[in-house]
Structures are given as structure tokens and as C-alpha cells.
Copies of this chain bind each other. A is one copy, B any other.
Amino acid sequence: MFNTLFLPELREMLASSNRAELEEFCQTLNAGRTAEFMEGLANEEVWQVLQFAPANRRAEIFGYFEHERQVAMLETHEPREAAELIEQMPADDRVDLIQDLTSDRVALVLPLLPIGVRRDIQRLQSYQDGTAGALMTSEVAMLEEHMTVKDALDQLGRQSSELETIYYLYVVDTNNLLCGIVSTRQLVSSLKHPGLTLGEIMESDVVAVLVSDDQETVAEKVERYNLLAIPVVDTGRQLLGIITHDDVIDVVREELAEDAQRIAAVEPLEDNFLRVGLWTLCWKRGLWLTILFFAALLTAFALRHYEADLEKYAWLVWFIPLIISAGGNSGSQSATLVITAMTSGEVRFRDWPVVLRREIIVSLGLGSFLAMIGFSVALFIAPSIRDACVIPSTLLLVIVCGCLCGATLPIAFKRLGLDPAMMSNPFVAGIVDIMGIVIYINIARLLIA
């Protein structure tokens, strides 16, 4: 019935307080789709509809709204109901929300939460952004070694609505130290022997991350071992929480978007593009723009240095932007390809001779082709055929140099422990620009003089 449901019908249900239909609406669909159907409602209407869902379902549906809408809904609604909803949310998500509420609102809502939830929020808030601690949720199935398969399954059944994932059970000792892991898959396939204990079927070699580990490390391990969730421990191997696969996708997205921004010489924003402050935006862009500007200033001094040549052969000037952009574009292609290949693990340091050999061949090919086009244009503009030869020779050399710079600098930076994405494009651009001019004028002197 709900595939054809429209906003007016939902509003009508609300107006007539049609309890049965509203309850059905909140329960029958996938929670994400229920949220989508409500997108057109005003915030207070959404609150009214949500009253017809049981508390945990209410939080689940709420979790599918956009972050901005969640904040707005919690900011303006009656504090007690807002607190109830927050209590039911996954531990990691509610911390993210509370961080974006105004401090007045937090002061109003926080005291309405049970002391245990409050402590949990404080604890999770204390971890630094970008670390495993900031990503994890504290709702995790911790069971003891001597528990039987049957008892574990029963307990899981009782707790399942509170846990973020029930697909791994973590076996801990009396000090909460992580000693093993049992997947629900193992549990289910051990059902024919319900008397087995978790200690007997668990895998004791658990892949885990430290609470202080970088989020990139988390993503890397989850991907390498194909996990649905990864446990987070402290240095004493006490189990603190887990990070689930959906948070890992977010990390991958964030890291790759940051890479793309670094390649274009922007300090990663680390916030929504439309929400980040204009001062911050100026600063994060201005920093690299200024560095690049100083690099480009060198070209002005180089050209001034070649003043005499440029006045004698005025037509050389017309090709300056062409030569610089050909070098810059081919260099940034190489740099981007090498950086993305290194991020995905396709290229490592030991591969540099292969990369170099391939770049030389490709750049000779590309350079020769563009040199031919450049030559045919130069024939019309340059005073003689011999003079026109300056253009193709320069183009070929600049493109080969541009590609080699673009391909090797990221590898070198990575080797030096620097972020290849951050350092390479500004460097490539700066080096190739100035190199282009020096090559150009010197070839001109050689051929024309």
C-alpha cells in the first residue's frame, strides 16, 4: 500500500489521528523508506508521526533523516521527548548529533538522560576526531568464554534490539579483556551441538584496532580482512567498543575526497562544503594558492631575465601559455594517476622503475603527437621553418619532463613519509612552469641564433 502513498494521505491520517494506519506506516516499511516518505513533512508533523512508533523504531527511522534535519528537530522540540529519542539512538550517532546542538540545548537535554548514557556520551566525546575512538560505538555483544552456544543465542535474541550489530560476539574475560571472537555464522552452524561453549568455538586470533589508531588504519584493516565490524581495544587489550562497516564506507569516502582536494591544492575541509566557515575556506585555499603564486612569480623573473631574446623574437611570446599549460597538464595527469594508484595499493615504492619506464614511453608518444600539431601551427606564425622547429622541440621536452616530474615526485614524497597527494601537485606545477620557460628560451637560442 505504501508505495503509492503521498504526502496528503499521510497528513490526512495525522489530521484524523488514524492510529491503526499510522502505526502500520511506522512499522511495515524499511525504516529508511519510512523516513523518505516523511521528507516533505514539517518537523513537528514528523514528531507527531513518530509518536506512533515504538521507542527503538522511532530512533531507527529518525537515524535516516539528513544530519541537518536531525539537529533542527532536536533543537526545537520539547526537551523530554528529544532526550528519549537520543537515549534510543546508536551510541556513536548520538555523540555526533550532540556535538552539533547549541550549548543551551545540550544543557537542557543532557540532564534528562540516564546517568549511564550520559557517561557513555562523555567517554565517546573524549576521543580525538579522526581516531578509532571517535568512530566506535559502545554497544557491543560481550559474552564470557564458558557460555554455551544455546545460551549465547538466547541472550543475543533478548539484546538484539540494543546492539548495533549482532554479527560478531566478542568473548571477554572478567576484566573485559578481549580473548576471542565468534561470528553469528559460527554460532548458527554450531547449533547442532548446543552444549559447546564459546571458548571452544571462538577464534582467538582477533583482528582489532587501538582506540588511538587513525581512521585510515581502521578502514584498511576492515577492507583487508573483509570484516563487518572491528573491535576497538586500549593498549591493555580491554574491549572498548566496535566500529561497523557503514562507518568504514564513510571513512573511505572522506579519505578519498580529501585526496582529491589535496591533489587540487586545497587543505582538506573536514566539514560540509556548504557549512564550513568562509574564513576557514579562505585559509585552506589561500595557503596553497599563495605558495603556488610565489612559484609562479619565479616565471616572471625568468622571463625578465630573457628580456633581450623576447624582444628580438616577439613571436616566441605568443606560445608561452601553450608550452606552460602542455607541461602542467601532462604533469598533473601523471601525478594524479600515480597518487590514485598508490592510494588503492596498485603502486608501491618498489615499482618506481616500472612506473618510470612506462611514463617515458607514454610521454614520448603524447609529446610527439602534440609537437606535430604545435609544429603545423608554428609554421604559419614563425618567420622560417627553422624557427618554427623551436615549438615542437620544446613541447616534446617539456611534456616528457612534466610527466617524469608528475610520476616520480609523489613516489618520492611518499618515501620521505610525506603525504603524496598534498605535496605533489603544487610542486609539479611550480617546477614544470619554470622548467618550461627555461627549456623554451634555451632551445630558441640554440636553434635561432
| Chain A residues packing against B (C-beta within 8 Å) | 2-3, 28-30, 32-33, 64, 153-154, 156-158, 160-161, 166-167, 184-185, 188-192, 203-207, 223-226, 228, 245-246, 248-249, 252-253, 256-257, 259-261, 263-266, 269, 272-274, 278, 281-282, 285-286, 288-290, 292-294, 296-297, 299-301, 303-304, 307, 310-311, 314-315, 317-322, 324-326, 328-330, 332-333, 335-341, 343-344, 346-347, 351, 354-355, 358, 361-362, 365-366, 369-370, 373-374, 377, 381, 429, 433, 437
Contact = CB atoms under 8 A, between A and B. Distances in A.
A48 to B, nearest CB: 22
B32 A226 contact: yes
A154 B191 CA distance: 7
**Chain A at the B interface: mostly helix, strand, loop or mixed?**
helix
Given A30-B205, A278-B358, 19 more contacts: A28-B205, A32-B226, A153-B191, A156-B188, A252-B256, A260-B340, A263-B264, A265-B333, A272-B346, A273-B338, A274-B351, A278-B362, A289-B326, A289-B366, A292-B325, A293-B326, A300-B318, A301-B318, A307-B314
Contacts of A343: 257
B336 A366 contact: no
The 10 closest A-B pairs by CB, nearest first: A264-B336, A273-B341, A256-B256, A299-B321, A303-B318, A32-B225, A160-B189, A257-B340, A296-B322, A296-B325
A371 B203 CA distance: 64
A208 to B, nearest CB: 11
Nearest to A258: B340
Contacts of A344: 253, 257
A277 to B, nearest CB: 10
Given A188-B156, A336-B260, A290 B246 contact: no
B260 A366 contact: no
Nearest to A223: B249
Contact of A318 (B2, B257, B304, B358): B304
Contact of A256 (B260, B303, B351, B355): B260
A299 B321 CA distance: 7
A272 B340 CA distance: 10
21 contacts: A28-B205, A30-B203, A30-B225, A252-B256, A256-B260, A257-B343, A259-B260, A260-B339, A261-B336, A261-B340, A265-B329, A273-B338, A273-B340, A274-B351, A278-B365, A281-B362, A282-B362, A293-B373, A304-B318, A324-B325, A329-B429
